[in-house]
Amino acid sequence: MKRSQAWLSEEIASRAEPTTQLEDEGYLEGFKRIAGLDEVGRGPWAGPVVAAAVIFPRGLIHSEIRDSKLLAARRREELSVWIKERAVAWGLGIVGPEEIDRINILQATLSAMGAAVKQLKPSPDLLLIDGTHVVPLGYLEAAGNRQQAVVGATGRWPLQSLPAQRAIKKGDRICHAIAAASIIAKVARDEMMAEYDKQYPGYGFAQHKGYGAPAHEEALRRLGPSPIHRRSFRPVREWEKAAVSKEAVSDQPTLTLARSVRERVG
């Protein structure tokens, strides 16, 4: 009897050593091309959200691949090169701050995941996705116009529906392919934020990568939002609200003087 996804999350994720157990289950079900899918950058106040998808050859494993958050930056970079060189296919999906503000961060994340899947050649027939959401059909249609299959934790993956999907809580701690995707996404986004640091100096993007560090909060107060800040995120939204209020207060003496002049002239 197949154990439940909840068992996997509680018992395997605590080890923080991803295995190919989920991939192997997929191969036993008859799938041929299994992709791990993860994202980075949901929480920052600035910059894009980036997703990555990876298909490994069956049986290939690197013992040091982990959730990207558990690795030093230099080791992530080295592993990212290894993954790209040995993967059957890998892809990136990037959604910028304006689109994040327009459709919200969850939808932007799912859109980035769909874009990453579209980069995979050959296309996958099973997606193993970090988190609790599968990718909506609309974000996957261009990846083959195939019927989407949303699969429960204990259900079988129907072979007639491609690509099938399985959302896995703490998947980057459990699944080798998902952990590999998290590394590629993290390295790519860190490189982008380092470039943004050159374009918009003073914010410290190369250090905090857009996350809400004290140095970022201080820079936001001092400089105001940059073009890559997410206006829908509370700290940025509150800064803009405070700036508008401050401007209104500073304009009040001028308005009062104008009103007094009009009254005297009248």
* 222 within a domain of the structure (yes/no): no
pLDDT at residue 76 greater than cutoff 60: yes
Q: What is the pLDDT of residues 197-212, one digit of tens each?
A: 999 999 999 999 999 9
Is residue 155 in some structural domain? Answer: yes
The CB density around residue 232, as the number of other CB atoms within 10 Å, is: 14
**Domain assignment present for 131:** yes
Cα atoms in the 13 Å half-sphere on the side-chain side of 45: 23
Distance from C-alpha of 187 to C-alpha of 174, rounded to nearest angstrom: 20
Q: Mean pLDDT over residues 175-198, rounded?
A: 98
**Beta strands 34-40 and 89-95: pairing type?**
unpaired
> How much is the pLDDT for 38?
98
Of residues 140 and 227, the one with the higher pLDDT is 227
CA 208 to chain centroid, in Å, comes to 16
Per-residue pLDDT at 72 = 97
Per DSSP, helices labelled H in 30-170 are 73-86, 97-103, 105-118, 137-140
Domain holding 169, by residue range, is 5-195
Q: Has residue 146 been placed in a domain?
A: yes
pLDDT score of 246 = 63
d(CA 22, CA 27): 9
Counting the structural domains of the chain, the total is: 1
What integer is the mean pLDDT of 241-259? 56
Alpha helices in the chain (DSSP H): 5-11, 21-29, 73-86, 97-103, 105-118, 137-140, 171-174, 176-199, 205-208, 214-223, 234-265
Region 115-143: mean pLDDT is 91
Among 96-105, 115-124, 150-159, which stretch is predicted with the lowest mean pLDDT? Answer: 150-159
For 45-55, the pLDDT digits (tens) are 999 999 999 99
**Residue 158: inside a domain:** yes
Task: Name the β-bridge partners of 150.
Answer: 165
Residue 264: what pLDDT?
Answer: 43
How far is Cα 37 from Cα 131, in angstroms, rounded to an integer?
10
The pLDDT score that the predictor gives to residue 141 is: 75
pLDDT of residue 17: 87
Work out the average pLDDT over 3-8: 40
Answer yes or no: is 227 within a domain.
no
> Residue 45: what residue type?
W
Instruction: Using the predicted structure, report yes or no on whether residue 249 has a pLDDT greater than 90.
Output: no
Q: Largest Cα–Cα distance in the chain?
A: 90
Position 250 scores a pLDDT of: 55
Question: Is 215 contained in some domain?
Answer: no
Residue 136 preceded by cis peptide, ω within 30: no
CB atoms within 10 A of CB 171: 29
158 pLDDT above the threshold of 50: no
Domain presence at residue 258: no
The CATH number of the domain where 180 resides is what?
3.30.420.10
* Closest among 102, 101, 130 to 116, alpha carbons compared: 130
Using 50, 70 and 90 to split pLDDT, how confident is the model at 162?
low
Least confident of 82-86, 154-158, 164-168: 154-158
pTM: 0.82
Give yes or no for residue 57 having a pLDDT over 70.
yes
- Res. 149: pLDDT tops 70: no
Taking 50 as the threshold, does the pLDDT of residue 148 lie above it?
no
More confident residue, 67 or 249: 67
Reported as a single tens digit per residue, the pLDDT across 207-247 is: 999 999 999 999 999 999 999 999 999 999 999 888 776 65
